[in-house]
Structure formats: C-alpha cells, structure tokens
C-alpha cells in the first residue's frame, strides 16, 4: 500500500504540497497524523517557503478519522496526537491552504479548518458527522465558531449534515469555489497574484499575527 502522505516542494522551495492517501477515502489514520506532523517539522526551516497546501489523493479530500481507532483503548492515544497536529498547523509560521475536492468530513474537515485558506471545487461537500456516532468533533468545535460564528458552527456540529461548498463560501469560510477540474489552476493563479511576490519573512510574521485570535479559541483541544 502507498504511504499515507506525499510531500512535494517546488523548484524554488516556495511551495510545499502535501497529498493525503488512504485507499478508503483518505481516512485520517494515526499513521497519517504522525507522518504529517513529522513532515511539518523541517518546513519551519525553509526560509523561502510561502505556502503549504494539503489535498487528498483521488476524488475526495477525506472521509474523516478512522472509526476503529476511536475505540476505547485507542482513542486516549489517537485524539491527543490529532490535536497536536492541529496545533502544529496553527503554529507553523507559513501560510497554509486546504485544497478540497469531493467529500471533506469529520477529521478531514478539522484539518482543513486548521489551515489559513480553504479552496474547493463546486461539487465539494463539508460535514461533521460525529454526532451521529454519539460523539462530537473537538477541534471543529473550537475552530469553526471562530471562523463562521457560533450560530452557523453550532448548526453544523449538532446536525451533522453535509453542506455544499457554496454555502460555506457565503459563510466566509472558503477563500474560493471554482468549477470542477479547475481547482489546481485556480490555486496557482491565486498564489501568483498574492503570496508569490511577497517577502517570505513578512509573510511569516503576518501569518503568526493573523492567527493570534484564532489560537485563543483552541484551549478546548485539551479535553
């Protein structure tokens, strides 16, 4: 089986692209979480880096976290590691973006929420189905209200219903929604028109400063 994560750096080392892989909808497993956390660490020292992107292999971003790994005896270890990864994404001083096609659910949605920007295809859907399993999404419960407001976040968390990209765009969560098949080119154009010409050092300081208020909403991840 393929490794759960692939990292590619562009020639100028200004962009780093992560691709998640699991044969069943890029399920976020403990192995994937560990691999992503480990791969993020050295990127702190890439001084020319201006954008880190995360996307899923195949037609979907992620079906969510591994349900078997959330069983008693495993959840006590898995959940803190996932939350440590969320903190790492919020802490790395480089702009981050989730590139979403297809379904972005549960733990996959939480990974996207930890990114500075979310780009999505028009057919993409986002949801937090944990409530149907008798649990709730801790990271999303901390991050989503800060991004879209309490009312919209509570509705998404308590209903568990998937919602279209257009709805989240109108809520201000997504940076852009583009026609299916045009997402990669759209992100390239956005990068060229925004971050590419900026000072990498300035972007690092601005990114850290912009996240201050968001990070204040995350103490619940210690639950």
Q: Which residue segments constitute the domains of the chain, with CATH numbers given?
A: 5-181+197-222 (3.90.226.10)
Q: Is pLDDT above 50 for 223?
A: no
What are residue 120's DSSP bridge partners?
A: 100, 177
Task: Choose among 83, 73, 31: nearest CA to 218.
Answer: 83
Specify the 3-state DSSP secondary structure of 222: helix
Q: Is pLDDT above 70 for 197?
A: yes
List pLDDT tens digits, range 57-111.
999 999 999 989 988 888 888 999 999 999 999 999 999 999 999 999 999 999 9
Percentage helix, strand, coil for the chain under 3-state DSSP, each rounded to 5: 50, 20, 35
Euclidean distance between the first and the last CA atom of the chain, given in angstroms as a whole number: 34
- 34 pLDDT band, cuts 50/70/90, is very high
């Amino acid at each position: 089986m393929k490794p759960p994560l692939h990292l590619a750096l562009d020639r100028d080392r200004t962009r780093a692209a992560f691709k998640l892989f699991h044969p069943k909808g890029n399920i976020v497993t403990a192995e994937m979480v560990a691999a992503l956390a480990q791969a993020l660490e050295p990127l702190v020292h890439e001084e020319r880096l201006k954008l880190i992107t995360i996307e899923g292999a195949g037609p979907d971003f992620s079906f969510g976290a591994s349900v078997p790994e959330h069983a008693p005896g495993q959840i006590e270890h898995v959940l803190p590691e996932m939350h440590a990864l969320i903190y790492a994404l919020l802490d790395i001083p480089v702009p981050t973006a989730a590139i979403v096609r297809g379904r972005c659910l549960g733990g996959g949605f939480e990974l996207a929420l930890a990114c500075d920007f979310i780009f999505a295809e028009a057919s993409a859907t986002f949801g937090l189905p944990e409530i149907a399993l008798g649990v709730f999404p801790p990271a999303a419960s901390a991050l989503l209200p800060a991004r879209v407001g309490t009312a919209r976040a509570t509705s998404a968390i308590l209903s568990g219903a998937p919602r279209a990209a257009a709805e989240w765009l109108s809520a201000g969560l997504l940076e852009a929604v583009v026609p299916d098949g045009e997402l990669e080119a759209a992100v390239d154009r956005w990068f060229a028109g925004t971050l590419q010409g900026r000072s990498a050092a300035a972007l690092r300081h601005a990114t850290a400063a912009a996240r201050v208020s968001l990070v204040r909403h995350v103490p619940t991840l210690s639950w």
